[in-house]
């Protein structure tokens, strides 16, 4: 097998076969399928995403991190599907930004997004206080509306009801219920995605989400809680 990440690797886009590979994995999530198609995965899927992020890092800065395809089955109740049906990575440590810049391949296409994907306890307190503040909270509503107008989906894990200390009829209760805030969008890949289209999709998505990230950086910022302390119960 040739090296999927040669030093001079360039990004050439994603052929239809990339997205067909994911559809095949969804039908047959087995070691046999993965082993039989590993060359395509290493070269076209993971290798292609690596090349995309490598090129974008020249513009945005930061370091590329790709995640394992194998699921962690040590504590999983269902071990029948050993592989994730998405391949994803990010640029982290981007100058002037707290949030990572994320990209993901799946059978549905190429997703790009960014934001605060998991709010630790101290971040959650600051987030809710800012949302409850009339000026800061109203500004976040405006930024969310602008992101949606630009074609982004603004999503994130949410509580089913109001968090403690906040009324259920608060005018910004939908935002107060968030435990994460992410903006992104997907470019379909059934016919493949060319080099320029992929680069433009990811870069323009990240840029369109910059005002939302700036609000989060100003009012929430990084967590001071160690990673091992972030697994507390929901509040």
Which tens digit of pLDDT belongs to each residue from 118-156? 999 999 999 999 999 999 999 999 999 999 999 999 999
In whole angstroms, what is the distance from residue 151 CA to residue 188 CA?
A: 14
CB of 230 closer than 8 Å to CB of 120: yes
Q: How many domains does the chain have?
A: 1
Average pLDDT over residues 27-31: 96
Residue 116 in any domain: the answer is yes
Residue 94 in any domain: the answer is yes
- pTM for the model: 0.90
Residue 134 in any domain: the answer is yes
Residue 42 in any domain: the answer is yes
Residue ranges making up the domain that contains 202:
13-70+81-221
Residue 112 in any domain: the answer is yes
In whole angstroms, what is the distance from residue 136 CA to residue 216 CA?
A: 10
CATH number of the domain that residue 121 is part of: 3.30.930.20
pLDDT of residue 235 exceeding 50:
no
Q: What is the mean pLDDT of the chain?
A: 92
Residue 22 in any domain: the answer is yes
In whole angstroms, what is the distance from residue 166 CA to residue 143 CA?
A: 22
Which residues fall within 8 angstroms of residue 69, CB to CB, at 6 or more apart?
A: 34, 41, 46, 83, 84, 87
- At 2, the pLDDT band (50, 70, 90 cuts) reads very low
């Amino acid at each position: 097998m040739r090296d999927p990440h040669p030093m001079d690797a360039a990004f050439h886009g994603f052929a239809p076969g990339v997205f067909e590979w994911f559809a095949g994995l969804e039908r047959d999530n087995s070691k046999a399928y993965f082993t039989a198609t590993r060359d395509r995965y290493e070269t076209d899927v993971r290798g292609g995403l690596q090349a995309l992020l490598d090129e974008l890092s020249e513009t945005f800065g930061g370091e590329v991190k790709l995640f394992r395809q194998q699921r962690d089955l040590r504590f999983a109740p269902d071990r029948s599907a050993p592989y994730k049906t998405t391949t994803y990575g990010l640029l982290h440590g981007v100058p002037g930004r707290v949030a990572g810049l994320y990209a993901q391949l799946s059978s549905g296409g190429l997703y790009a997004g960014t934001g605060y994907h998991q709010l630790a306890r101290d971040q959650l307190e600051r987030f809710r206080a800012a949302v409850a503040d009339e000026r800061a909270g109203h500004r976040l509503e405006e930024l969310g509306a602008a992101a949606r107008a630009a074609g982004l989906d603004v999503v994130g894990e949410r509580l089913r009801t109001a968090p403690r200390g906040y009324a259920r009829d608060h005018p910004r209760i939908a935002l107060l219920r968030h435990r994460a805030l992410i903006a992104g969008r997907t470019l379909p890949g059934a016919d493949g995605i060319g080099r320029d289209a992929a680069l433009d999709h990811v870069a323009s998505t990240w840029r369109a989400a910059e005002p939302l990230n700036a609000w989060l950086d100003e009012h929430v910022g990084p967590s001071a809680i160690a990673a091992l302390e972030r697994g507390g119960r929901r509040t």
